[in-house]
Structure 1
């Protein structure tokens, strides 16, 4: 793998992880667009570690609050802001973990990597995001998060196991449908990414440790650092932009890109093999 392609993978992952445009869809399509081989599991885990570091740093106040509440949550005392946040994040993470295990056990992960499927999910869930953003009320803030809402967020997040859906996009959609304002929807979506990325990293970590060598570790460290920088910049950009702009620019991108992918997929001009 060339250093240029490694940096390209890191930048694509970092930029698209938190914007509502599907990082998994872009990474699956990247080899087909560039003619390169798939970057492999080591790099995948490395760039996710980088994006994890970015979201933890950006939302450190919320992260430290949730971490401080874990001991009380584990003893069943959901009576402080910290223990409530930790509990709701745990609840919201369960559906995606269970869904991921089902896909692995049924060996469906490869079947979901087709260009046409990614195109359709990119387009359709983009339209759903637009509808939710334009019609959703803005009466709730992030501190209004409830158990019922956490379950809805979690179930919606599980849909993001289908490439092209976008984990951040579908959870932001859930927030707007439930009446959270744009900033609160994005904040909850970003915080939900932390246990989700950690869970996926733990599941894949054993295989990475067993197969990685010194060179792979070096490439992984470079990829993680670049993904961290790109993801942090993307987070700053999106959260600031939400103060004055809706999610419409991302919707336009999704619809146009999705339509192009559908055409390329059905014409046979692009595959993920």
Structure 2
């Protein structure tokens, strides 16, 4: 029962933080350590993210169906190849390649060295500042329909930086989108769509590791955490898209810097084990 209770907590934490630009992987690394539970492991973290991506699939089902169907039609009918949705399909595929290739190449480093709390705390602070600067000085005049191949590649490269816990997949992609001049809602929406192949792929890739290795939980708690992350994540998507249409990312920037700074202080003081 205790493992299930912890799974509910971690699933809620994952659902709340996956789509906010504050790094869900950092929270799943820091808070269990603070509570004395230890690192739940990279496999557990990757698998329960499938729950939040299922929330994306359902929330954006109309967009995904429209993009996917137009992309497939464009493969056989040249007249559709210039359509925005057909191009968007290619942009999501191409933008996903950096994180997939680096994720496979650096698998051992990601699951061990990159999970150091020194790294997590530092990336929370540094990438929080990057997000704040990009959001503050963005031209804020480009819509998602203006997305081109160059910008898709750049945002894909930014997303790949999220292989380091603390960076934040959505935060890195949104930061690049804002730096390129995209409106908050456009950058956020594309960040959600771009994450689908990478997160689902990573979760399925790590699925065989759940019964053993570095996973602190078995199948039962992992499934519970995944379901909870889906339910909480769905609500978080709707809230964030409404929020960014009116407000800036400043509260998330301040939160990142505060959490990262606190983490570094606690590690230096020996309260947390890096």
Answer whether TM exceeds 0.5 for this pair.
Answer: yes
1:17 aligns with 2:10: no
- The CA deviation at 1:66 is 2.1
2:5 paired residue number: 4
Q: What are the residue-to-residue correspondences of 1:1-273 with 2, within 5 Å?
A: 2-40=3-41, 43-72=44-73, 74=75, 77=78, 78-104=81-107, 107-208=109-210, 216-272=218-274
* 3-state SS of paired residue (1:2): helix
Relative to structure 1, is the Cα distance of residues 240 and 207 closer, same or farther in structure 2, using a 3 angstrom cutoff? same
- The CA deviation at 1:74 is 4.9
- The CA deviation at 1:224 is 1.9
CA contact (8 A) 1:42 1:220 kept: no
- Normalised TM-score (structure 1): 0.90
* 3-state SS of paired residue (1:18): coil
* 3-state SS of paired residue (2:37): coil
Relative to structure 1, is the Cα distance of residues 209 and 147 closer, same or farther in structure 2, using a 3 angstrom cutoff? farther
CA contact (8 A) 1:41 1:208 kept: no
In 2: Cα distance, 1:41 partner to 1:125 partner: 21
CA contact (8 A) 2:210 2:218 kept: no
CA contact (8 A) 1:18 1:168 kept: yes
- The CA deviation at 1:12 is 0.9
CA contact (8 A) 2:135 2:249 kept: yes
In 1: Cα distance, 2:42 partner to 2:164 partner: 18
Relative to structure 1, is the Cα distance of residues 41 and 73 closer, same or farther in structure 2, using a 3 angstrom cutoff? farther
In 2: Cα distance, 1:90 partner to 1:220 partner: 28
In 2: Cα distance, 1:37 partner to 1:263 partner: 18
CA RMSD of aligned residues (A): 2.2
In 2: Cα distance, 1:265 partner to 1:98 partner: 32
Gaps of 5+ in 1: none
Relative to structure 1, is the Cα distance of residues 76 and 164 closer, same or farther in structure 2, using a 3 angstrom cutoff? farther
Aligned residues: 268
- The CA deviation at 1:268 is 2.1
CA contact (8 A) 1:47 1:224 kept: yes
Relative to structure 1, is the Cα distance of residues 16 and 194 closer, same or farther in structure 2, using a 3 angstrom cutoff? same
CA contact (8 A) 1:69 1:85 kept: no
Name segments (4+ residues, structure 1) moved above 6 Å.
none
In 2: Cα distance, 1:2 partner to 1:155 partner: 36
- Normalised TM-score (structure 2): 0.90
Gaps of 5+ in 2: none
- The CA deviation at 1:151 is 0.5
